[in-house]
Protein backbone atom coordinates (compact mmCIF):
# COMPACT_ATOMS: atom_id res chain seq x y z
CA UNK A 1 0.00 0.00 0.00
CA UNK A 2 1.11 3.54 -0.75
CA UNK A 3 0.81 5.62 2.41
CA UNK A 4 -0.59 8.94 1.16
CA UNK A 5 -0.98 11.98 3.40
CA UNK A 6 -3.03 14.86 2.01
CA UNK A 7 -1.95 18.04 3.82
CA UNK A 8 -4.31 20.97 3.46
CA UNK A 9 -4.14 24.42 5.02
CA UNK A 10 -7.93 24.10 5.57
CA UNK A 11 -8.64 27.69 6.54
CA UNK A 12 -10.47 29.13 3.53
CA UNK A 13 -13.01 26.28 3.43
CA UNK A 14 -14.29 27.38 6.84
CA UNK A 15 -15.93 30.42 5.23
CA UNK A 16 -17.80 31.30 2.08
CA UNK A 17 -17.61 31.08 -0.87
CA UNK A 18 -15.24 28.14 -0.51
CA UNK A 19 -17.26 26.45 2.23
CA UNK A 20 -20.15 25.63 -0.11
CA UNK A 21 -17.86 24.26 -2.80
CA UNK A 22 -15.65 22.16 -0.52
CA UNK A 23 -17.68 21.66 2.66
CA UNK A 24 -15.40 18.93 3.97
CA UNK A 25 -12.25 20.63 2.73
CA UNK A 26 -10.17 20.35 -0.42
CA UNK A 27 -8.26 17.43 1.12
CA UNK A 28 -11.39 15.30 1.42
CA UNK A 29 -12.60 16.24 -2.07
CA UNK A 30 -9.30 15.01 -3.49
CA UNK A 31 -9.46 11.82 -1.42
CA UNK A 32 -13.04 11.17 -2.52
CA UNK A 33 -12.19 11.74 -6.18
CA UNK A 34 -8.96 9.88 -6.78
CA UNK A 35 -8.59 6.19 -7.50
CA UNK A 36 -7.75 4.83 -4.05
CA UNK A 37 -6.86 1.28 -5.01
CA UNK A 38 -3.62 0.38 -3.29
CA UNK A 39 -3.52 3.73 -1.50
CA UNK A 40 -3.98 4.26 2.22
CA UNK A 41 -5.05 7.88 2.79
CA UNK A 42 -4.65 10.02 5.89
CA UNK A 43 -5.28 13.74 6.29
CA UNK A 44 -3.31 16.51 7.94
CA UNK A 45 -4.17 20.18 8.30
CA UNK A 46 -2.35 23.28 9.50
CA UNK A 47 -4.36 23.56 12.70
CA UNK A 48 -3.85 19.94 13.72
CA UNK A 49 -1.32 19.22 16.51
CA UNK A 50 2.24 19.71 15.23
CA UNK A 51 0.71 21.31 12.13
CA UNK A 52 -0.52 17.89 11.09
CA UNK A 53 2.86 16.29 10.59
CA UNK A 54 4.39 14.76 13.67
CA UNK A 55 7.57 12.78 13.16
CA UNK A 56 5.51 9.62 13.49
CA UNK A 57 3.14 10.66 10.71
CA UNK A 58 5.84 12.06 8.43
CA UNK A 59 7.99 8.96 8.82
CA UNK A 60 5.03 6.83 7.79
CA UNK A 61 4.15 8.83 4.69
CA UNK A 62 5.26 7.68 1.23
CA UNK A 63 3.63 10.50 -0.73
CA UNK A 64 2.66 13.92 0.59
CA UNK A 65 0.16 16.16 -1.22
CA UNK A 66 0.37 19.86 -0.28
CA UNK A 67 -2.32 22.51 -0.79
CA UNK A 68 -2.10 25.95 0.85
CA UNK A 69 -2.40 29.62 0.02
CA UNK A 70 -3.17 31.94 2.96
CA UNK A 71 -0.76 30.83 5.65
CA UNK A 72 2.50 29.68 4.08
CA UNK A 73 4.45 31.69 6.65
CA UNK A 74 2.75 29.95 9.57
CA UNK A 75 4.30 26.62 8.66
CA UNK A 76 7.28 26.12 10.96
CA UNK A 77 10.70 26.37 9.35
CA UNK A 78 11.66 23.25 11.28
CA UNK A 79 8.73 21.34 9.77
CA UNK A 80 9.60 22.45 6.23
CA UNK A 81 13.18 21.27 6.84
CA UNK A 82 11.96 17.89 8.08
CA UNK A 83 9.71 17.43 5.05
CA UNK A 84 12.60 18.38 2.75
CA UNK A 85 14.82 15.75 4.36
CA UNK A 86 12.09 13.15 4.02
CA UNK A 87 11.78 14.03 0.30
CA UNK A 88 15.55 13.73 -0.15
CA UNK A 89 15.35 10.28 1.45
CA UNK A 90 12.67 9.16 -1.01
CA UNK A 91 9.19 10.43 -0.06
CA UNK A 92 7.16 11.69 -3.02
CA UNK A 93 5.87 15.29 -2.90
CA UNK A 94 2.94 16.63 -4.93
CA UNK A 95 2.49 20.38 -4.65
CA UNK A 96 -0.82 21.74 -5.89
CA UNK A 97 -1.79 25.20 -7.17
CA UNK A 98 -0.90 27.98 -4.69
CA UNK A 99 1.43 25.61 -2.89
CA UNK A 100 4.05 27.02 -5.28
CA UNK A 101 4.84 29.66 -2.63
CA UNK A 102 5.02 27.20 0.27
CA UNK A 103 8.17 26.85 2.31
CA UNK A 104 8.51 23.20 1.38
CA UNK A 105 8.27 23.81 -2.39
CA UNK A 106 10.73 26.70 -2.19
CA UNK A 107 13.05 24.52 -0.09
CA UNK A 108 13.17 21.68 -2.59
CA UNK A 109 13.35 24.01 -5.60
CA UNK A 110 15.93 26.45 -4.23
CA UNK A 111 14.43 29.23 -6.34
CA UNK A 112 11.77 31.92 -5.91
CA UNK A 113 8.86 29.84 -7.27
CA UNK A 114 7.12 33.12 -8.16
CA UNK A 115 4.79 33.52 -11.12
CA UNK A 116 2.29 35.90 -12.71
CA UNK A 117 -1.35 35.48 -11.77
CA UNK A 118 -4.80 36.83 -12.51
CA UNK A 119 -8.05 35.74 -10.93
CA UNK A 120 -10.94 36.47 -13.33
CA UNK A 121 -12.17 32.90 -13.77
CA UNK A 122 -11.00 32.48 -17.33
CA UNK A 123 -10.80 29.25 -19.31
CA UNK A 124 -7.65 27.13 -19.05
CA UNK A 125 -6.62 24.57 -21.64
CA UNK A 126 -4.02 22.02 -20.62
CA UNK A 127 -1.84 20.22 -23.13
CA UNK A 128 0.05 17.00 -22.53
CA UNK A 129 3.69 17.63 -23.36
CA UNK A 130 5.00 14.11 -22.71
CA UNK A 131 2.47 11.42 -23.74
CA UNK A 132 4.81 8.68 -22.47
CA UNK A 133 4.89 9.96 -18.89
CA UNK A 134 3.10 7.78 -16.28
CA UNK A 135 1.33 10.87 -14.90
CA UNK A 136 -0.65 11.35 -18.14
CA UNK A 137 -1.80 7.74 -18.53
CA UNK A 138 -5.52 7.77 -19.31
CA UNK A 139 -5.59 11.57 -19.51
CA UNK A 140 -6.68 13.19 -22.80
CA UNK A 141 -4.00 14.87 -24.89
CA UNK A 142 -5.75 18.14 -24.10
CA UNK A 143 -8.58 19.13 -21.77
CA UNK A 144 -10.13 22.32 -20.47
CA UNK A 145 -11.18 23.81 -17.17
CA UNK A 146 -13.91 26.37 -17.85
CA UNK A 147 -12.90 28.60 -14.94
CA UNK A 148 -9.48 28.78 -13.35
CA UNK A 149 -7.08 31.27 -11.91
CA UNK A 150 -4.43 32.23 -14.46
CA UNK A 151 -0.90 31.27 -13.51
CA UNK A 152 1.59 32.60 -16.05
CA UNK A 153 5.23 32.76 -16.98
CA UNK A 154 7.85 33.52 -15.94
CA UNK A 155 7.62 30.77 -13.32
CA UNK A 156 10.59 30.81 -10.95
CA UNK A 157 11.42 27.11 -10.96
CA UNK A 158 14.77 25.52 -11.85
CA UNK A 159 15.48 24.37 -15.38
CA UNK A 160 15.90 20.71 -14.44
CA UNK A 161 12.13 20.27 -14.27
CA UNK A 162 10.58 17.90 -16.79
CA UNK A 163 7.49 19.50 -18.28
CA UNK A 164 4.47 17.17 -18.36
CA UNK A 165 1.69 19.74 -18.96
CA UNK A 166 1.55 23.17 -20.53
CA UNK A 167 -1.45 25.45 -20.09
CA UNK A 168 -2.98 28.13 -22.24
CA UNK A 169 -5.37 30.69 -20.78
CA UNK A 170 -8.14 32.63 -22.49
CA UNK A 171 -6.36 35.86 -21.62
CA UNK A 172 -3.40 34.78 -23.74
CA UNK A 173 -0.93 33.53 -21.12
CA UNK A 174 0.88 30.20 -21.16
CA UNK A 175 2.31 28.30 -18.18
CA UNK A 176 4.29 25.20 -17.31
CA UNK A 177 1.38 23.75 -15.35
CA UNK A 178 2.70 20.25 -14.67
CA UNK A 179 6.41 19.78 -13.95
CA UNK A 180 8.34 16.93 -12.34
CA UNK A 181 11.63 17.07 -10.47
CA UNK A 182 13.98 14.62 -8.79
CA UNK A 183 15.35 15.81 -5.44
CA UNK A 184 17.71 13.33 -3.84
CA UNK A 185 15.82 10.03 -3.87
CA UNK A 186 12.44 11.80 -3.93
CA UNK A 187 10.15 12.57 -6.82
CA UNK A 188 8.40 15.95 -6.86
CA UNK A 189 5.43 16.98 -9.01
CA UNK A 190 4.00 20.48 -9.23
CA UNK A 191 0.48 20.69 -10.70
CA UNK A 192 -1.04 24.14 -11.12
CA UNK A 193 -4.86 23.80 -11.38
CA UNK A 194 -6.87 24.11 -8.18
CA UNK A 195 -8.04 27.59 -7.23
CA UNK A 196 -10.32 27.23 -4.22
CA UNK A 197 -13.34 29.05 -5.63
CA UNK A 198 -13.65 26.73 -8.65
CA UNK A 199 -14.71 23.05 -8.74
CA UNK A 200 -11.32 21.94 -10.09
CA UNK A 201 -10.93 19.07 -7.64
CA UNK A 202 -14.15 17.55 -8.94
CA UNK A 203 -12.82 17.46 -12.51
CA UNK A 204 -12.19 13.89 -13.58
CA UNK A 205 -9.09 14.71 -15.59
CA UNK A 206 -7.51 16.66 -12.74
CA UNK A 207 -8.29 13.78 -10.37
CA UNK A 208 -6.82 11.29 -12.84
CA UNK A 209 -3.60 13.31 -12.99
CA UNK A 210 -3.38 13.36 -9.18
CA UNK A 211 -4.15 9.61 -8.99
CA UNK A 212 -1.37 8.89 -11.45
CA UNK A 213 1.02 11.27 -9.72
CA UNK A 214 0.61 9.54 -6.36
CA UNK A 215 1.59 6.22 -7.91
CA UNK A 216 4.46 7.78 -9.88
CA UNK A 217 5.86 9.59 -6.83
CA UNK A 218 5.72 6.63 -4.43
CA UNK A 219 9.24 5.45 -3.57
CA UNK A 220 10.40 1.88 -4.08
CA UNK A 221 12.73 2.30 -1.12
CA UNK A 222 14.26 4.93 1.13
CA UNK A 223 17.83 6.17 1.29
CA UNK A 224 18.60 7.78 4.66
CA UNK A 225 20.57 11.00 4.43
CA UNK A 226 23.92 10.41 6.09
CA UNK A 227 27.60 11.01 5.60
CA UNK A 228 29.17 7.67 6.36
CA UNK A 229 31.98 8.07 8.83
CA UNK A 230 34.80 6.24 7.18
CA UNK A 231 35.04 4.45 3.85
CA UNK A 232 37.57 1.63 3.84
CA UNK A 233 39.33 1.31 0.47
CA UNK A 234 38.23 -1.66 -1.61
CA UNK A 235 41.65 -1.78 -3.29
CA UNK A 236 45.07 -1.89 -1.67
CA UNK A 237 46.38 1.67 -1.64
CA UNK A 238 50.15 2.29 -1.56
ZN1 LIG B 1 -5.61 30.33 -6.34
Would you say residue 238 has pLDDT above 90? no
- Stretch 71-90: mean pLDDT: 98
Q: How far is the CA of 116 from the centre of ligand 1 (A)?
A: 12
**How far, in Å, from the CA of 149 to the mean position of ligand 1?**
6
CA–centroid distance, residue 65 to ligand 1 (Å): 16
Q: How far is CA 200 from CA 26, 106, 194, in A?
A: 10, 24, 5
- Compute, in angstroms, the gap from residue 25 CA to the centroid of ligand 1: 15
For residue 61, what pLDDT is reported? 98
Angle subtended at Cα 190 by Cα 116 and Cα 160, rounded to the nearest 5 degrees: 90
DSSP codes, 170-181: TTS-EEEEEEEE
Q: How many angstroms is it from 223 CA to the middle of ligand 1? A: 35
pLDDT band for position 229 (50/70/90)? confident
**pLDDT of res. 199:** 98
% of residues, the chain, pLDDT over 70: 100
pLDDT confidence bin for 39, thresholds 50/70/90: very high
Compute, in angstroms, the gap from residue 200 CA to the centroid of ligand 1. Answer: 11
What is the rounded distance in angstroms from the CA atom of residue 69 to the CA atom of residue 65?
14
Per-residue pLDDT tens over the stretch 84-101:
999 999 999 999 999 999
Question: In the predicted model, what is the mean pLDDT of the chain?
Answer: 97
pLDDT of residue 167: 98
Eight-state DSSP code of residue 70: S
> What is the pLDDT at residue 228?
80
The whole-angstrom separation of Cα 234 and Cα 60 is 36
Q: 201 C-alpha vs ligand 1 centroid, how far in Å? A: 13
Look at residue 165 and tell me whether its pLDDT is greater than 90.
yes
CA angle 177, 99, 120 (to 5 degrees): 65
171 Cα: distance to centroid of ligand 1 (angstroms): 16
DSSP per-residue string spanning 18-42: HHHHSTT-HHHHHHHHS--TTEEEE
Write the pLDDT tens digit of every residue in 179-219: 999 999 999 999 999 999 999 999 999 999 999 999 999 99
Residue 227 is predicted with a pLDDT of 87
Q: What does the pLDDT read at residue 25? A: 97
Ligand 1 center from residue 147 Cα (angstroms) = 11
- Coil/strand/helix, residue 149: strand
Residue 187 · residue 216 · CB < 8 Å: yes
Ligand 1 centroid – CA 1 distance (Å): 31
pLDDT surpasses 90 at 106:
yes
pLDDT above 90 for 148: yes
Rounded Cα distance, 12 and 10, in Å:
6
Give the closest residue to 151 by CA, choosing from 201, 202, 190, 107: 190
Distance from the alpha carbon of residue 59 to the mean position of ligand 1, in angstroms: 30
Is the pLDDT reported for residue 48 higher than 90?
A: yes
Pairwise CA distance, residues 96 & 115, whole Å:
14
Amino acid sequence: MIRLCIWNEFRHELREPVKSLYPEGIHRAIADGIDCEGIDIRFATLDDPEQGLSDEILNNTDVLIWWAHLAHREVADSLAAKIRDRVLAGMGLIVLHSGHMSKIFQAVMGTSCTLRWRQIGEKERLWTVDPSHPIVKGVPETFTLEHEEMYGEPFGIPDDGKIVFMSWFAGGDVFRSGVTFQRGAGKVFYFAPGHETFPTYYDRNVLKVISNAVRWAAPAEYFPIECRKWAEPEEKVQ
